[in-house]
Amino acid sequence: MDALLAVGTRKGLFLARSRGGGPFEVEPVRFSTIAVHSVAVDTRRDTPRLLAGIEYGHFGPSVMWSDDLGETWHEANTPPVAFPERTGAALARVWQLQPSPTEPDVVWAGAEPAALFRSEDRGETYSLVEGLWDHPTRPQWQPGNGGLCLHTIVPHPDDPKSIAIAASAVGFFRSDDGGLTWYPSNRNIRAPFLPEGAQYPEWGQCVHKVAHHPARPERLYLQHHFGVYRSDDFGASWTDIGSGLPSDFGFPIAVHPDDPDTLWVFPLHGDVDRTPVGHRYQVFRSEDAGSTWEGHSTGLPEGPVHAAVLRDAMAAGPAGLFFGTRDGEVYGSRDDGETWTRIARHLPDVLCVRAAVL
């Protein structure tokens, strides 16, 4: 089995390859000095396509693509992700790139300020999904500490009309008509930072990340600013599953590629400290859909460590389970998190991690 690991960092994209199930070997940096906030490995066709949401700094954000596994990169002649003039908005960042599981040429992009874009040419150019942009609650949307970012896109794997998004600090929204209309879907998610009696708002939730299982599309997992939740009805309602964790604050959440009852989180001390619980790298796994949890750290540094793991810096799939840290280390596991191997160190701040079997 050959696998590709893509690591976006504050200063460049790093690709690591595993051949025949061997160790991952890290290649020289691409986009040196340029931030890579989002990555996708699109394997829907015989020739995989890599997509990277980059930030040029002075020249602003863009999306690049490669059809030769990162050897050469291309960019549209005009800005690929841009707000229509009538919005009065300017693109700050592309936070997410998500190929559609049901439409072969469609790629979704999540942006800041919180907006959803759709591409119909495999991620080369994008158009604004105006139904979400024009949602009547938008004037009251407020940014989280990371900005007003649309960071998660969940296309339903069986129904192209059904799609969901999460934005910080806006909440979880769904559409049943392909993005024409949207409605908030945050039932039972508690926001303890709000006044008593107002802690279950319809929208305005600080969602950090959402993971879904393609073989059981109604099953979703959500890491909130305070809390970890499960939904069994594609987000129509949520159940708190964080009580067995040492902390229910964190950013990433990932689900097993074959087992919808197995998931992982990376708990951090409360929202002020934001360092690993106990100052140890520990990935907590549940094998019963969040009823019980167990921490695993074999092969990880014993501590003390202080670097967090960001919302898109953990990935699970057929190639294994991976995470990257804010001090530039990347770890991988091929036994569902029981044991870990360090793949890279001394990288810049890791912003996103994606892996695929080729």
Tell me the whole-structure pTM to 2 decimals. 0.97
Nearest to 135 by CA among 95, 180, 167, 186: 180
Domains of the chain (ranges; CATH) run: 3-357 (2.130.10.10)
Q: Which residue has the tokens 């999540």?
A: 110
Tokens standing for residue 104: 């072969």
Please, which residues have CB within 8 angstroms of residue 256's CB and are 6 or more apart in sequence?
Answer: 213, 262, 263, 316, 336
Tokens standing for residue 148: 């007003």
Per-residue pLDDT at 166 exceeds 80:
yes
Q: Do you know the residue count of the chain?
A: 358
In three-state secondary structure terms, 85 is helix
Chain segment 66-90, per-residue pLDDT in tens: 999 999 999 999 999 999 999 999 9
Per-residue pLDDT at 1 exceeds 90:
no
What is the average per-residue pLDDT within 177-202? 93
Per-residue pLDDT at 320 exceeds 80:
yes
What is the average per-residue pLDDT within 339-351? 98
Gap between the Cα atoms of 259 and 277, Å rounded: 26
Per-residue burial over 90-117, b = 16 or more CB atoms within 10 Å of its CB, e = otherwise: ebebbbbbbbbbeeeebbbbbbbbbbbb
Helix (H) or strand (E) holding 130: helix 130-133
Nearest to 38 by CA among 51, 56, 57: 51
What is the average per-residue pLDDT within 188-207? 91
Chain segment 37-48, per-residue pLDDT in tens: 999 999 999 999
Q: What is the mean pLDDT of the chain?
A: 96
Nearest to 354 by CA among 120, 51, 149: 51
Gap between the Cα atoms of 238 and 289, Å rounded: 13
